[in-house]
Amino acid sequence: MLQVEDLTVRFPGPRGGGLVGAVDAVAGVGLSLARGQVLTVLGPSGCGKSTLLRAIAGLEHVDAGRILLAGADLAGVPTHRRGCALMFQDGQLFDHRSVAANVGYALRLRRRPRREVAARVEELLDLVGLTGYGDRAPATLSGGERQRVALARALATEPRLLLLDEPLSALDRSLRESLAADLRQILVAAGTTAVWVTHDHEEAFTVADRLAVMQDGRVVQEGTPAEVWRHPADARTALFLGYASVLEGSAAARIHHVLGSPDPAVRRPVALRRSALRLDAAGPLAGTVVAVRASPEVIRLRVRVDGLGEVDAVAGREHPAIPGDEVGLAVDPDRLAVLPSGAAPSHLTAPTP
Amino acid sequence: MTRTSRRPGTTTASVVGVVAAGVPLAVLAVFFVLPVGGMLARGFVDDGTFDPGGVLQVLTRPRVHRVLAFTVLSAGSATVLAVLLGVPAAYVLSRLRFPGVRLLRAVVVVPFVLPTVVVGVAFRQLFAASGPLGGLGLDGTPVAIVLALVFFNIAVVVRTVGAQWDGLDPRREEAAAALGARPAQVWWTVTLPALRPAIVSAASVVFLFCATAFGVVLTLGGLRYATVETEIYLLTTTFLDLQAAAALSLLQILAVVALLLLAHRARATEVALARVDRPRRRPRPRDAWAFVVLGLVLALVVAPVATLVARSLRTADGWGFDHYRALAAGPTEGGSNALRVPVTTAVENSLRIAVDATVVAVVLGLLVVLVTTRPRPAGRRAARWARALDGIFMLPLGVSAVTLGFGFLVTLDRPPLDLRSSGMLVPIAQAMVALPLVVRVLSPVLGSIDDRQRQAAATLGAGPLRVLRDVDLALVWRPLLAAAGFAFAVSLGEFGATSFLSRADRPTLPVVIFQLISRPGVDNAAMATAAAVVLGALIVTVMALVELMPRRGRIA
Q: What 8-state DSSP symbol labels residue B189?
A: I
The strands making up A84-87's β-sheet, listed across from edge to edge, are: A84-87, A161-165, A194-198, A38-42, A210-215, A218-223
d(CA B354, CA B486): 11
Q: Domains of chain A by range and CATH? A: 2-83+159-230 (3.40.50.300), 95-158 (no CATH), 245-349 (2.40.50.140)
- For B218, the 3-state DSSP assignment is helix
Q: What is the pLDDT of residue A353?
A: 38
Q: Where is mean pLDDT largest: A118-122, B93-97, B480-484?
A: A118-122
B351 and B304 in a single domain? The answer is: no
Measured at the CA of A55, the angle between CA A53 and CA A56, to 5 degrees, comes to 65
Read off the amino acid at residue B262: L
- Count of alpha carbons within 13 angstroms of residue A54, beta-carbon side: 25
Q: Is there a domain that residue B52 lies in?
A: no
CATH number at residue B418: 1.10.3720.10
d(CA B339, CA B102): 39
Q: In A112-224, where does DSSP find H-type helix? A: 114-127, 143-156, 173-190, 201-207
CB contact, 8 Å: B459 with chain A? Answer: yes
Q: What is the pLDDT of residue B1?
A: 39
Q: What is the pLDDT of residue A347?
A: 47
Q: Is there a domain that residue B343 lies in?
A: yes
Q: What is the pLDDT of residue B11?
A: 53
Beta pairing partners, A198: A42
Within 8 A by CB and 6+ apart from A88, the residues are A150, A165, A167, B452, B455, B456
CB-nearest to B555 from A16, A98, A110 is A98
Position B276 confidence tier, pLDDT thresholds 50, 70, 90:
low
Q: Which of B121, B117, B192, B108 is nearest to B150 (CA)?
A: B108
Interface predicted TM-score (ipTM) of this complex, two decimals = 0.78
Q: What is the pLDDT of residue B19?
A: 75
Q: What is the pLDDT of residue B167?
A: 76
pLDDT in tens, A81-112: 888 889 988 888 998 889 999 999 989 888 89
B172 and B80 in a single domain? The answer is: yes
CB-nearest to A16 from B10, B380, B457 is B380
B310 and B345 in a single domain? The answer is: no
B309 and B328 in a single domain? The answer is: no
CB contact, 8 Å: A135 with chain B? Answer: yes
Q: What is the pLDDT of residue A20?
A: 59
CB-nearest to A109 from B3, B10, B460 is B460
Q: How many domains does chain B have?
A: 2
B439 and B300 in a single domain? The answer is: no
Q: Where is mean pLDDT largest: A124-138, B171-185, B335-349, B523-537?
A: A124-138
Q: What is the pLDDT of residue B9?
A: 47
The answer to whether residue B371 scores a pLDDT higher than 60 is yes
B256 and B386 in a single domain? The answer is: no
What is the CA B39 to chain-centroid distance, rounded? Answer: 23
Q: Is there a domain that residue B286 lies in?
A: no
Residue A25's H or E segment, with its range, is strand A23-33
Nearest CA in chain B to A156: B460
Q: Is there a domain that residue B155 lies in?
A: yes
pLDDT in tens, A126-138: 988 899 999 999 9
Residue A270's H or E segment, with its range, is strand A270-272
Asked if residues A93 and A150 have their Cβ atoms less than 8 Å apart, the reply is yes
Give the length of chain B: 556
B66 and B194 in a single domain? The answer is: yes
Q: Is there a domain that residue B408 lies in?
A: yes
Question: What is the arithmetic mean of pLDDT over A236-245?
Answer: 89
Contact A60 B5 (CB under 8 A): yes
Q: Which of B508, B199, B493, B138 is nearest to B340 (CA)?
A: B508
The answer to whether residue A219 scores a pLDDT higher than 90 is yes
CB-nearest to B461 from A61, A80, A137 is A80
Q: What is the pLDDT of residue B268?
A: 60
Q: Is there a domain that residue B6 lies in?
A: no
- Count of alpha carbons within 13 angstroms of residue A224, beta-carbon side: 3
- For A164, the 3-state DSSP assignment is strand
The answer to whether residue A352 scores a pLDDT higher than 50 is no
pLDDT in tens, A12-38: 765 544 555 678 889 999 999 999 999
**Share above pLDDT 70 across residues of chain B, in percent, rounded to a whole number:** 88
B398 and B370 in a single domain? The answer is: yes
B299 and B399 in a single domain? The answer is: no
Asked if residues B232 and B249 have their Cβ atoms less than 8 Å apart, the reply is yes
CB contact, 8 Å: B11 with chain A? Answer: no
What is the CA A339 to chain-centroid distance, rounded? Answer: 20
Domain that holds residue B213: 61-273+291-320
B424 and B511 in a single domain? The answer is: yes
d(CA B108, CA B89): 9
CB contact, 8 Å: B8 with chain A? Answer: yes
**Share above pLDDT 90 across residues of chain A, in percent, rounded to a whole number:** 37
A55-to-A216, B80, B382 alpha-carbon distances in Å: 16, 53, 22
Asked if residues B461 and B388 have their Cβ atoms less than 8 Å apart, the reply is no
CB contact, 8 Å: B449 with chain A? Answer: no
B185 and B218 in a single domain? The answer is: yes
B454 and B507 in a single domain? The answer is: yes
Q: Is there a domain that residue B284 lies in?
A: no
- For A11, the 3-state DSSP assignment is strand
d(CA B172, CA B183): 13
Q: What is the pLDDT of residue A119?
A: 94
The answer to whether residue B379 scores a pLDDT higher than 60 is no
A310-to-A252, A298, A347, B239 alpha-carbon distances in Å: 13, 19, 11, 95
Asked if residues A8 and A28 have their Cβ atoms less than 8 Å apart, the reply is yes
Q: Is there a domain that residue B46 lies in?
A: no
Contact A137 B452 (CB under 8 A): no
d(CA A279, CA A286): 10
pLDDT in tens, B226-238: 888 888 888 888 8
Average predicted confidence (pLDDT) for chain B: 81
